[in-house]
Structure 1
Amino acid sequence: MSTRARGILITGCGVLVLSPDTLLIRLLDADIATTLFWRGTALALGLGSYVFWRERGAARAALMPLRRPLGWCLGLLFALSNILFVFTVAHTTTADTLACLATASIFCCAFQRHFSS
């Protein structure tokens, strides 16, 4: 499979995952804190299961680099992105939220080009 085809496949899978996610959050009749709790719990269980399945007996060794300050910073940034995602779905339209997510990589590239030169 070519790199382009792989990129299109990954992007398509991302769209299929994010689009129903925003609609489910919108349909859910719960406050933001409850939604965040259950999203975090499901994510921890899903990601933890995947890591234990993939690493078999060495899951602890695979997670050890995350104890460094960079791992904590990445965890905090991921938590912040999750909080802000649920907040924007609750306070704006689904289309606006998904448009912001879709343009995030473009802004990332633009900032990288600006700050690296």
Structure 2
Amino acid sequence: MIHTLSHRQQGLLLTAGGALIISPDALLIKLIGLPDADILVWRGLLTALGFIAIVAARHGHGFLDAYRRCGWTGIGVAVLFSFSTFGFVLGNQYTKGGNVLMILAGAPLIAALLSRLFLKEYLPRRTWLAIWLCLLGTSLIVLDDAGAGSWIGNGFALLAATALAANFTLCRTRPGIDMSPMLTLSG
């Protein structure tokens, strides 16, 4: 069935499915009640194992070649994804999960700004409008919860969003290369 959908429809389906799968993630981080370092270690280890299984299933005997094709750009992808995970976990430890998810939702808009800055891409007026409106809305939500610990958590969430956006932008510098194998190294 998925092969009868357009690329746009497949992307929307994958995005919606991914959002549904990850939505309880912030709650689970709070419920686990482990120290920050323990959560980061276990999350990294389980993420790496999951992605290794996916890479092996997708690439079979070309498993190692999938990593080689990524080159140094892939190392940057792994580092940025690590920062994103670090910011997400610690953000959830120090502020409300809703704040973290709202700030993280701004990653595509930050990516648009980074693409403008580093890739010299043109941003249409509607993108600038979306950036400013989302910045205003996120600011209102974040300012409503202005405790000392919240600022630290919001800062970590902003780190996660910025690292994720930088990752999107970096991946766009090598459009023909699948960078997903490098996520196994980001744990």
TM value normalised by structure 1: 0.86
2:52 is the alignment partner of 1:44: no
Q: What amino acid sits opposite 1:94 in the alignment?
A: G
Distance in 2 (alpha carbons) for counterparts of 1:10 and 1:51: 17
2:80 is the alignment partner of 1:92: no
Distance in 1 (alpha carbons) for counterparts of 2:117 and 2:62: 40
Alignment correspondent of 2:108: 105
Structure 1 stretches of 4+ moved >6 Å: none
Gaps spanning 5+ residues in structure 1: where? none
SS at match of 1:30: coil
2:16 is the alignment partner of 1:30: no
Q: 1:51 to 1:90 in 2, by over 3 A?
A: same
Q: What amino acid sits opposite 1:8 in the alignment?
A: L
Alignment correspondent of 2:161: none
Post-superposition Cα deviations, 1:14-73, rounded to whole Å, max 9, x if no partner, equal 21122111111110110110001000110111100111122122211212234x322222
Q: 1:61 to 1:110 in 2, by over 3 A?
A: closer
Distance in 1 (alpha carbons) for counterparts of 2:59 and 2:11: 25
Distance in 2 (alpha carbons) for counterparts of 1:29 and 1:90: 9
Q: 1:2 to 1:62 in 2, by over 3 A?
A: closer
Alignment correspondent of 1:74: 77
Q: 1:111 to 1:71 in 2, by over 3 A?
A: closer
Q: CA RMSD in A?
A: 1.8
User: How far off is 1:3 after superposition?
Assistant: 4.1
Distance in 2 (alpha carbons) for counterparts of 1:4 and 1:45: 29
